[in-house]
Amino acid sequence: MSLMEFLHMGGYAAYVWPSYAFTALALGWMTLAARRAHRNALSAARKRLAMEKSAS
């Protein structure tokens, strides 16, 4: 099977590839968003602690 044949997906390329792309997008988004949420929570805690220190 040539690369062009593979990409052609037996005539279904316009449906198969966008499906995989969107699912990859969903998985990628949920991973990055979760990591960002955790990082933000951590830096917020850090900021709060620094403010407490400077206040006391």
Partner 1 sequence: MWTWFHKLASPPHVYRIAGLLVPWFGWVGGVLIAVGVVWGLRFAPADYQQGDGFRILYVHAPSAWMSMFTYVVMALAAGIGLIWRMKVAHAVAASCAPIGAAFTASALVTGALWGQRMWGTWWVWDARLTSELILLFLYFGYIALRSAYDDQQRADRASAILALVGVVNIPIIHYSVVWWNTLHQAASVTKLARPSIAPEMLIPLILMFFGFNIVFGAVLLTRLRGEVLLRERNADWIRALVAQP
- Residue numbers at the binding site for partner 1 (CB under 8 A): 6, 9-12, 15-16, 18-20, 22-23, 26-27, 29-31, 33-35, 37-42, 44-46, 48-49
Q: Which is nearer to partner 1, 15 or 54 (CB)?
A: 15
Least distance to partner 1 from the beta carbon of 39, Å? 8
Task: Please report how close the Cβ of residue 10 comes to partner 1 at its closest, in angstroms.
Answer: 4
3-state secondary structure the chain: CCHHHHHHHHHCHHHHHHHHHHHHHHHHHHHHHHHHHHHHHHHHHHHHHHHHHHHC
Quickly tell me which residue has 């997906």 as its tokens.
9
